[in-house]
Amino acid sequence: MQPHLHWPAGLSFYFRVLLPICQERSAMIYFDSAATTLQKPASVPAAVADAIHTMTTPGRGDHPAARLAADLMLRCRMEAAALFDVPQPENVILTSNATHALNIAIRSLVSPGDTVAVSGYEHNAVTRPLRDIGGVVCRIVNGRLFDPRQMAEGFRRAVSGGVKAAICTHTSNVFGYTLPIEEIAAICREKGVPLIVDASQSAGIQPVSLRRWGAAYVAMPGHKGLYGPQGTGLLLCGEGQTPRPLLAGGTGSLSRQQEMPDFLPDRLEAGTQNVHGAAGLLAGIQFVRSQGLEKIRQKEGEVIRALASGLEGREDFRVFADPAGGGSVLSVLPLQEAPETLADRLAEQGVAVRSGLHCAPLAHRTAGTEDTGTLRFSASVFNTPEEAEMVLRIL
């Protein structure tokens, strides 16, 4: 049965509600993609809508709707495995976000009283689970912003006897600083310490390789650089890991057994999965692969460089720009008004940015901006240098 939407009511709804929203959206300059990308490839909502109408849950029934869902989930795992260099698609776990994935990874490796090494640029998605476990000793590797050599040296000192795991963000969500993850991964491999990488800001932008890094886990959201819907995320599990499930329940497999299955992905995917979200995520990952990471980095870097060069040298801003250029994120500190006030003023003029601590007080402590926070511009592949110029004119 079709929805009861009569034409007059439908047209009225379109002109009263939908059209203004669409006009407002197209007028908005959106620079908050490090939180969530707003502009998605057209294939993403189309895939979600198609899945809602055609797919149920894999691993339960064996009818066409369930089989379509199973096919979709496998293709999503395979596409992610190809992008992130994961040897087996089974080791790609669908989660509800990066925080969910990080919680699984951290709670699988860290127990009360353990010592861990973490970078000084971690998000609360890392630091809060560590606090929640209780009695965990954190060796925080502090290093100057945009000084990867110092960070690598710090990890070499911190990852030593008794450290149960190293946890490192690939790219800081506050400053867009990409940490020397290749070197840090090599140090962890050399010392036999499992590594957890938070790829929340790098997935879909920077090369991420589970295999080359030899990481125990890599966590990422689906709704940022992968252009998927909110409520999606991925946990990539390294070979030989036995992750601890956060949830126990039905998996459609080994139903007589009361322990969770010991194989992936079932071990970590209890309950009905977000197949509709996975459909959007698959379309998002396909979009990223079709664009190519280099092109995405180049486009986003061009926009961020335009913003940075427009603000550098001004006396009313402190600019935290990567001297190497590029990146998808730029934090600035306005010196004549609070970041929140400026963010509000920008929002009134149709520019979406984020102010505050960005859920990463540790990163602000490390960079010396804990008392003020920063105002953050974060780009997606849909931003243009012209938009950066428009923002600079407002500022």
Partner 1 sequence: MSYYLLLSRSITHAQRMSRTLERAGITARFFRPPMGLTDRGCSYAVRIGGDYLSAAMDCLRREGLAPMRIFRAAGDGSFSEITM
**Interface with partner 1 includes 41 (CB under 8 A)?**
no
What does DSSP assign to residue 128?
H
Number of continuous H segments (helices) and E segments (strands) in the chain: 14, 13
Q: Please answer whether residues 260 and 24 qualify as being in contact, where contact means their C-beta atoms are separated by less than 8 angstroms.
A: no
Minimum CB distance to partner 1, residue 260 (Å): 12
**Is residue 12 a contact point for partner 1 (CB under 8 A)?**
no
| 89 contacts partner 1 (rule: CB under 8 A) | yes
Provide the CA 331 distance to its chain's centre, in angstroms. Answer: 18
Q: Is 79 in the site for partner 1 (CB under 8 A)?
A: no
Q: 71, 312, 370, 389: which one contacts partner 1 (CB under 8 A)?
A: 71
CA 109, CA 267: separation in Å to the nearest integer? 16
The binder of partner 1 chosen from 40, 77, 305, 364 (CB under 8 A): 77
How, if at all, do strands 163-169 and 115-119 pair? parallel
Q: Is 63 in the site for partner 1 (CB under 8 A)?
A: no
Question: Helix, strand, or coil here: 329?
Answer: strand
Residues 324-383 binding partner 1 (CB under 8 A) are: none
270 contributes a contact to partner 1 by CB under 8 A: no
Is residue 64 part of the contact set for partner 1 (CB under 8 A)?
Answer: no
Give the N- to C-terminal CA distance of the chain in Å, as an integer: 53
Among 8, 255, 336, 371, binds partner 1 (CB under 8 A): 255
Our CB check for partner 1 shows the closer of 4 and 256 to be: 256
Tell which residue, 250, 171, 258, has the closest CA to residue 206.
171
Question: Residue 279 is encoded by which pair of tokens?
Answer: 């459909």
**Cβ of residue 70: shortest distance to partner 1, in angstroms?**
6
DSSP sequence for 3-38: ----HHHHHHHIIIIIHHHHHHHHH-EE-BTTT---
Does 278 participate in binding partner 1 (rule CB under 8 A)? no
Tell me which stretch binds partner 1 (CB under 8 A): 83-91, 107-115, 161-169, 319-327: 83-91
Residue 82 touches partner 1, criterion: CB under 8 A: no
- Rank residues 32 and 266 by Cβ distance to partner 1 and give the closer one: 266
Q: Which residue has the tokens 């509600």?
A: 17
Taking the complex as a whole, the smallest distance from the CB of residue 82 to partner 1 amounts, in Å, to 14
For residue 220, the one-letter residue type is M
Residues near partner 1, by CB under 8 A:
58-59, 62, 70-71, 73-74, 77, 88-90, 251-257, 261, 263, 265-266
